Amino acid sequence: MRGRPHPDEARTGCLEGRGRPRPAPAPAAPPTSTPRRADKYARRRYRPDRRSPESRKPVTLSAPAPSSAIDALFTNARLPDGRLVAIAVGGGRFVSFGETPATDAGVPVTDLGGALVSPSFVEGHIHLDTSFIGDVWKPHRPCTNGFDVRERVAFQMDLLSTAAPMAHRARAQLELCVANGTLRMRSHVMIDGSVGLKHLEPVLEVREAARDLIDIQLVAFPQSGILTCPGTAEVMDEAIAAGCDLVGGLDPAIVDRDIEKHLDVVFGIAEKRGVGVDIHLHDAHMLGVFEIEQIAARTAALGMQGHVAVSHAYALGEVSTDQAKRTADIIAKAGVAIMTNAPGAHGFPPVTLLRAAGVTVFSGSDNIRDSWWPYGDGDMLSRANIIGYRSGFYTDAELESVFDVVTTAGATALRLGDYGLVPGASADFVVIPAAHVPEAVAALPRERKVYRRGKLVAEGGKLVA
């Protein structure tokens, strides 16, 4: 239903001050190429050397290990490009793809029987702190008189107050994702003046405990807005110091009613801490497009190309094709990535149009079985299927494009250097019983095997270790 807010939309928990008068929303002004404050940012250049260790990883892969270092061999592997190869692994990294190499006696050989081998999936947008995976089923409570943010927040706080411990739920959700083939993840974590770092602390512990299983980036997500929730800007800054990798944002116009000041805080922290940005943006139609172009302008002015993402960006699917093309060109030039999970009740970004313009489009599960909606299975192959289905994709090329969205394009958006089916990369891959990528996206085979650093970690949807 167009116009009905998505479950993840305008998730506001900081109720203080919500009754006081607010200034009128910023008008849906025509697109501009340069923000009013661009000069300020142009003078203070973005310093990539201050980015998080994850983001500093080189994009160029290391040289292949010598063949004598091979300690595992996988034969009859069907690569996404159709080649049937042997995959050699040594020290947890890919050594080679091609002819079966000579190996030392005793090196284990696994015959994959021509199954498809995919790089591990990239879950680019999830909320580890608010899911009820790992807890008892909690029936969805509809709003009593149409969608109401305050009521939804009250439901969320009520349900979370009686939920299983956050660390338990976060771990369960993470394991669900790994079991389906995701070994790279970006999770938003609620950070605001009302909860402080209360959600971040257990999630940081879960991330640390799961390092051998999955790589996780965390985004300081101001779920209650920034300007309308006192203390949020300060605690977001603290969250970066405490271990968050990126700074988030949320609907600068509709939630905070001040696009400029909201973005001042977000990009100010990003600049100060040398981290990337990932902003939730549900604001609709030309208002949303205007905000996206403001974000793109700031990104370019700060030299942050490749370090900024806009999540959801529903507006791009709500305006005319001509307008979407114009904005896509601006986004591409600024190097801003777009995340979509193709939620059922909304318009969503036009994937083919954006990719044709050169925009990196990636995806994520977003909410999984939380107080906002009951859906989600932690499977990025399933997510590719949903995006393809909703986009009207039928050809092999189109199905391959959504597979790219949940693999390689996701790695690009998350700036993962140590990724992919290439010699030298971490040997993280998924074996899928399908003849090729289009069949995998359409058929969604569940009997997969997931390998982390060359070791089997999940099979048939369950962890094995």
Measured CA to CA, the distance from residue 87 to residue 103 in angstroms comes to 12
Six-digit token string for 203: 């999630």
Q: DSSP assignment of 318-357, as one string?
A: TS-HHHHHHHHHHHHHHTEEEE----TTS----HHHHHHH
Quote the least distance from Cβ 10 to Zn ion, whole Å: 11
Amino acid at 107: V
Closer by beta carbon to Zn ion, 123 or else 366:
366
Closer by beta carbon to Zn ion, 8 or else 215:
8
Alpha-carbon torsion, ordered 279, 285, 287, 289, to 10 deg: 60
Residue with the shortest CB distance to Zn ion: 8
Closer by beta carbon to Zn ion, 312 or else 452:
312
Closer by beta carbon to Zn ion, 9 or else 271:
9
Quote the least distance from Cβ 5 to Zn ion, whole Å: 13
Closer by beta carbon to Zn ion, 93 or else 312:
312
Quote the least distance from Cβ 424 to Zn ion, whole Å: 33
Query: Per-residue contact track with Zn ion, 356 to 385, x per CB under 5 A?
Result: ----------x-------------------
Q: Who's near 404: CB < 8 A, 6+ residues apart?
A: none
Which span sits near Zn ion by CB under 5 A: 5-13, 15-23, 156-164, 398-406?
Answer: 5-13
Quote the least distance from Cβ 313 to Zn ion, whole Å: 12
Measured CA to CA, the distance from residue 144 to residue 170 in angstroms comes to 29
Contacts to Zn ion from residues 152-191, by CB under 5 A: none
Q: How many residues bind Zn ion (CB under 5 A)?
A: 2
Quote the least distance from Cβ 405 to Zn ion, whole Å: 17
Closer by beta carbon to Zn ion, 343 or else 423:
343
Measured CA to CA, the distance from residue 172 to residue 305 in angstroms comes to 34
Measured CA to CA, the distance from residue 383 to residue 366 in angstroms comes to 10
Quote the least distance from Cβ 128 to Zn ion, whole Å: 11
Closer by beta carbon to Zn ion, 366 or else 379:
366
Which residue in the set 5, 6, 7, 8 belongs to the binding site for Zn ion (CB under 5 A)? 8
Closer by beta carbon to Zn ion, 6 or else 184:
6
433: phi then psi, degrees, rounded to nearest 5: -75, 75
Quote the least distance from Cβ 339 to Zn ion, whole Å: 9
Measured CA to CA, the distance from residue 364 to residue 360 in angstroms comes to 14
Q: Who's near 54: CB < 8 A, 6+ residues apart?
A: 215, 217, 245, 415
Query: Per-residue contact track with Zn ion, 316 to 355, x per CB under 5 A?
Result: ----------------------------------------
Quote the least distance from Cβ 127 to Zn ion, whole Å: 6
Of 164, 244, 234, 252, the C-alpha closest to 204 is: 244
Measured CA to CA, the distance from residue 46 to residue 303 in angstroms comes to 6
Query: Per-residue contact track with Zn ion, 211 to 250, x per CB under 5 A?
Result: ----------------------------------------
Measured CA to CA, the distance from residue 458 to residue 211 in angstroms comes to 16
Binding site for Zn ion (CB under 5 A): 8, 366
